[in-house]
Structure 1
Amino acid sequence: CISQCFLSLAVFGRAIHAIARISDEFWFDPVEKGLALRSVNSSRSAYACVFFSSMFFQHYCWTAASQPCQKEKQLPLPCKLIIKSVLPVFRCVNVLERNVEKCSISTSPSEQHITFQLLCRHGVVKTYNLTFQECDPLQAVFAKHMCPNILKVHSRLLADVMIHFPTSQEEITLSVTPMKVCFKSYTEEDTDFSRTMLTEIQLSPEEFDYFQVGVDSEVTFCLKELRGLLAFSEATSVPVSIHFDRCGKPIAFSIEDLLLEASFILATLCEPEKEAASPEPAC
């Protein structure tokens, strides 16, 4: 069983919006130590997990199905929700934070739905009963500590870099050497450069909180998912860590503090000269 009241509605809402950039469905996975929100896209080239410690909540009650809690309702398995049904609850997170005094989540496995309840000003109560589907756990297998390249940068700086890329830019390339870091537009070989805007931004090692380049590399990945993580990380004011290897191997963007941690693992493009190249799955 699970019952929760939030310390920060804006942070949780931005996590939902970040997850929404991955897929149209996500896994709602409560465990004894906290709540995990997970998602993977249909091609399995992008995976996201945001974990909220039980300390993130003013109140957190969880009991396994085999140990029923008399006053609370049970959630026997991780469940899957349609993201479009959850987004309206957290549509405008800044407005919600001003107008909502408390948000709670409870479950009703017998009816297979999760209840989001917003206790607003002036005694207004908004209740959303969302149907879920029981499912197997979702977990990506990626040993980021084995990556030779690790960068740690403040989320505001990384967001300032990404804002220079147009919203139509689908993929960007990150290249690193011991002397510099470069973010640049990715273009196909048959691109008409006379009609294309190219962006390239270089950063020095001194601009990073942590800088480790074990191997010169150039990796290309989707920008859409990264924008979601950055919007979420800015709400938490936590630096972003980047773990990666050579092209064709996944790249991980993660944030972590005492109350929460998030990890977005994205596939990268293989070297163009490799025949029939395709991205390595993120999970």
Structure 2
Amino acid sequence: MTVLNFSLTPEATARVYELLVCLAKFGESVAIEAKSDKLTITALNLSRTAYASFSLDARSFFISYDFHGSPGVKGGDRFTCQLLNKALQSVFKGRANDSRGRESTVERCDVHVQDQPDKTECRLIVKMLCRHGMTKTYRLTYEPTEVMHALFDRNAATQGWKISARVLREYVEYFGPKTEQLDLLAEEGKAIFTSFTEKIQDGKEVLKQPLETAVSIHTEDFEDFHMQESMHIVISVKDFKAIVTHAETLRGSISAHFSFPTRPLQFSYQNSGVHCEFTLMTTGDYRGASSTLNPNFISTRASSRQQSIAPPVAAPSRRTSEMPPPARPFGNKPLSSQSQRAPLKPRSNQAATEESDPDPESLFMPGGDGDQTWDPPNYEQEEEEEMLGWDASNEDPSASFHPTFRDSGTVPRAQKDRQPPTYGSQEGLEPTQRLSQLHGMFD
């Protein structure tokens, strides 16, 4: 035979009603699990995508707490049962101080379990001891059940944040009442909460609530923030509102622990002997957040911030390997010939474009040297420019592995036309006839 007896103060009685209202958002029934050190009340939705748990500490939450399990029975160190949430709410409703300042008439609440073999039905008996010697007794029928708990590994949840529940409650009021999904995103030093819906009306491709509400909270408003940038995690708006609303009643801070989309997310907070945990399944995508080997994190932690800003080590070696070394020149062919100069021109133009880095959102073209790109081509000026080439000389072997600025030795075209032609070149043929022997058509 199991013995479970505990007593509550008027404030603790009001806490029980508040947590029952929160659990009603997750399921119609609640499960109670009693142990020697705590009393746990849980709820699991029908789709098994959201789990809520409230653990009441035996020493700090109750006036008195007495539990004795059934010895010699499997699982006798705990007691589990299941009840309808509406039945419990009707018992604890209105036992707290109302908004008008009137005090509650309840002085103490006593609860004990009737689990005796000689009784036909199992009962959960609740007695409200009120003023002037009046006592209200409620007998609720329960059924034995096996409580299911959601497992969550805090070590695997490397990302998360922590913020005051009062601050977060102010932003939750902006979300629409008919929205379904909530998108969590970290971008540009802010946490963005976006509520939206995907429902259509009567098979038509028309959304019931096409409006999206986005709320941005700066990371400085969080007590702790560490989340990968451009990563979307989607949860239910209904569950999030229920969690934040109850967390605000405890006047504490709410923490979120998660790893990646499609992995569980857990909200937790505690105060006044109540430890609350909510485990939710998530959806979402990365949208390029995990495409890099070293993803950026928006974090208030100094170590993580320095790690995200540090450039990758392999970047300089990869840039050098993009340009293959030129072929070794043969004979008297100069290094600055047109065949070797062609692949280097696009390379220099691309480097100049990367250094300018214009504003993509600007309506105007950048000024300065960028205006020359719209001028007509001037081939004479291009011939006089210095070209970026490879130093293939054998004078300095170490210089052949690094790109250097090399003088091509070109001369302007006007001076080149005034120079007398050289007939001693080996590349052409010597003349076979004198100019005096040439005769025109009218000679």
Q: CA deviation at 1:53?
A: 0.5
SS in 2 for 1:117: strand
> Root-mean-square deviation (CA), in Å?
2.7
1:34 paired to 2:38:
yes
- Give a deviation string over 1:108-161, Cα, whole Å, max 9, x none: 123311112111223322211111111113211111342122111111111111
Aligned equivalents of 1:195, 1:41: Cα separation in 2: 25
Rate the CA distance shift 1:120–1:231 in 2: closer, same or farther, 3 A: farther
Aligned equivalents of 2:35, 2:220: Cα separation in 1: 40
2:64 is matched with which residue?
A: 59
Aligned equivalents of 1:228, 1:93: Cα separation in 2: 21
Q: Which runs of 4+ in 1 moved over 4 A?
A: 189-195, 270-273
Aligned equivalents of 1:143, 1:11: Cα separation in 2: 28
- Give a deviation string over 1:161-219, Cα, whole Å, max 9, x none: 11111222222111124711011112329775796332110011110111122564211
Aligned equivalents of 2:54, 2:188: Cα separation in 1: 31
Aligned AA for 1:18?
C
With the length of structure 1 as denominator, give the TM-score of the two structures.
Answer: 0.85
Rate the CA distance shift 1:258–1:189 in 2: closer, same or farther, 3 A: closer
Aligned residues: 268
Pairing of 1:1-283 with structure 2 (within 5 A) = 1-7=3-9, 8-55=12-59, 56-66=61-71, 77-92=79-94, 94-95=96-97, 98-110=104-116, 111-177=121-187, 179-188=189-198, 192=206, 196-214=210-228, 216-257=230-271, 259-271=273-285
SS in 2 for 1:197: coil
- Give a deviation string over 1:69-119, Cα, whole Å, max 9, x none: xxxxx9963111111211111223534872211112110123311112111
SS in 1 for 2:79: coil
1:280 is matched with which residue?
A: none
Aligned equivalents of 2:208, 2:150: Cα separation in 1: 41
Aligned equivalents of 2:243, 2:208: Cα separation in 1: 32
Aligned AA for 1:60?
Y
Moved more, 138-147 or 91-100: 91-100
With the length of structure 2 as denominator, give the TM-score of the two structures.
Answer: 0.56
2:353 is matched with which residue?
A: none
Aligned AA for 2:254?
V
Decide whether the 8 Å contact of 1:147 with 1:243 is kept in 2.
yes
Decide whether the 8 Å contact of 2:191 with 2:217 is kept in 1.
yes
Moved more, 219-228 or 74-83: 74-83
Considering fraction of residues, name the structure with more strand: 1
2:397 is matched with which residue?
A: none
Q: CA deviation at 1:39?
A: 1.0
SS in 1 for 2:39: strand
Q: CA deviation at 1:246?
A: 2.2
Rate the CA distance shift 1:67–1:238 in 2: closer, same or farther, 3 A: farther
Moved more, 90-99 or 189-198: 189-198
Q: How much identity, in percent, do the aligned residues show?
A: 22
Q: CA deviation at 1:270?
A: 4.5
Moved more, 131-140 or 95-104: 95-104
Aligned equivalents of 1:114, 1:195: Cα separation in 2: 44
SS in 2 for 1:146: coil
Q: CA deviation at 1:232?
A: 2.2
Aligned equivalents of 2:105, 2:254: Cα separation in 1: 30
SS in 1 for 2:232: strand
Aligned equivalents of 1:75, 1:213: Cα separation in 2: 40
Q: CA deviation at 1:230?
A: 2.3
Aligned equivalents of 2:189, 2:221: Cα separation in 1: 12
SS in 1 for 2:278: strand
Ranked by relative contact order (alpha carbons within 8 Å, sequence separation 6 or more), the top structure is 1
Whichever of the two has the greater Rg, that structure is 2
